């Protein structure tokens, strides 16, 4: 798997040190802030190659989910994500799990020597917010089967870079660590913010810039 290549570009489809796991940018839109009360209503999972670029040989997973409890939706959250009108054509939440399973199988992620499939390594912006919502939707067992615990996070990376700058008595690079600000700092376009697919692509682009930059002050 570490030598497998994108059939359209010839680029390696994953980082060698991931040992067959596959990094994917991930983002959700939700009906509110509480994963025990609110629900995922949009999710995107975008496979990345060894350079943290969106792969060209596979389609991302991108669906709208119909909430089981629409009456619980926070009006402010729905105003931000603008998805209220999309719910009539959204997938049933159980059906969406089946679609995700089929999509993951098409990735043909290899198995370990014990026969257990390798997993997706999530890359998110404030993934600590998204993760409990995804677990609430999938259940813990499926989440642990499909996703690695070793997620990456552009917000945490930005905080680390700020800490490192302070440690070396230099000015912090990021005055804010939300995705909008990180995109501004790195010149990444995200004109469709709060769309899960667009945010995934922007997060990947920011993380690529961070990897290119390294840890130099």
Binned at pLDDT 50, 70 and 90, residue 20 comes out as confident
pTM over 0.85: yes
- Which has the higher per-residue pLDDT, 4 or 66? 66
Distance from C-alpha of 26 to C-alpha of 204, rounded to nearest angstrom? 9
pLDDT at 3: 56
- Beta bridge partners of residue 37, listed in sequence order: none
In the predicted structure, residue 1 carries a pLDDT above the cut 60: no
Vertex 188 angle, CA 182 and 192, to 5°:
95
pLDDT of the residue at 12: 73
Average confidence (pLDDT) over 5-10:
70
pLDDT for 217 beyond 50: no
pLDDT confidence of 15, banded at 50, 70, 90? confident
The better pLDDT of the pair 61, 85 is held by 61
Asked if pLDDT for residue 98 goes beyond 50, the answer is yes
36: confidence class by pLDDT, cuts 50, 70, 90: very high
Mean pLDDT (whole number) for 17-26: 91
> What's the chain look like in SS3?
CCCCECCCCCCECCCHHHCCCEEEEEEEEECCCCCCCCCEEEEEEEEECCCCCECCCCCCEEEEECCCCHHHCCHHHHHHHCCHHHHHHCECHHHHHHHHHHHHHHHCCCECCCCCECCEEEEECCHHHHHHHHHHHHCHHHHHHHECCCCEEHHHHHHHHHHHHHHCCCCCCCCCCCHHHHHHHHCCCCCCCCCHHHHHHHHHHHHHHHHHHCCCC
Domain range summary for the chain, segments of one domain joined by +: 16-152
Residue 184 pLDDT: 96
Size (the chain), residues: 217
Query: How is domain 16-152 classified at the CATH fold level?
Result: Nucleotidyltransferase; domain 5 (3.30.420)
| Burial class of residue 191, CB neighbours in 10 A (0-12, 13-18, 19+) | exposed
* Rounded average pLDDT over 109-137: 93
Q: What is the mean pLDDT of residues 120-131?
A: 98
Structure-block tokens of residue 47: 């496979």
Closest-CA residue to 43 (of 205, 206, 203, 200) = 200
- Mean pLDDT within 162-181: 94
Q: What is the pLDDT of residue 115?
A: 82
Annotate 22-38 with b (16+ C-beta within 10 A) or e (fewer). Answer: bbbbbbbbbbbeebeeb
Provide the pLDDT confidence category of residue 138 given band limits of 50, 70 and 90. very high
For the segment 11-20, the average pLDDT, to the nearest whole number, is 80
Q: Taking residues 160-188, what's their average pLDDT?
A: 95
* Average confidence (pLDDT) over 181-202: 95
């Amino acid at each position: 798997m570490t030598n497998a290549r994108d059939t359209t570009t010839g680029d390696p489809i994953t980082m060698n040190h991931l040992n067959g796991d596959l990094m994917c940018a991930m983002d959700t839109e939700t009906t509110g802030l509480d994963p025990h009360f609110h629900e995922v209503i949009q999710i995107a999972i975008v496979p990345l190659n060894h350079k943290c670029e969106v792969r060209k040989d596979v389609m991302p997973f991108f669906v709208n989910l119909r909430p089981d409890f629409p009456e619980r939706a926070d009006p402010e959250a729905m105003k931000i994500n603008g998805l209220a009108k999309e719910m009539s054509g959204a997938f049933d939440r159980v059906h969406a799990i089946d679609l995700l399973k089929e999509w993951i199988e098409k990735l043909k992620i290899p198995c370990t020597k014990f026969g257990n499939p390798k997993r997706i390594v999530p890359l998110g912006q404030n993934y600590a917010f998204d993760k409990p919502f995804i677990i609430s939707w999938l259940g813990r067992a499926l989440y642990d089967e499909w996703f690695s615990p070793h997620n990456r996070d552009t917000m945490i990376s930005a905080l680390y870079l700020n800490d490192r700058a302070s440690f070396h008595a230099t000015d912090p690079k990021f005055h804010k660590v939300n995705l909008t600000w990180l995109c501004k700092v790195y010149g990444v376009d995200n004109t469709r913010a709060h769309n899960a697919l667009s945010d995934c692509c922007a997060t990947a682009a920011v993380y690529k810039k961070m990897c290119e930059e390294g840890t130099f002050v």
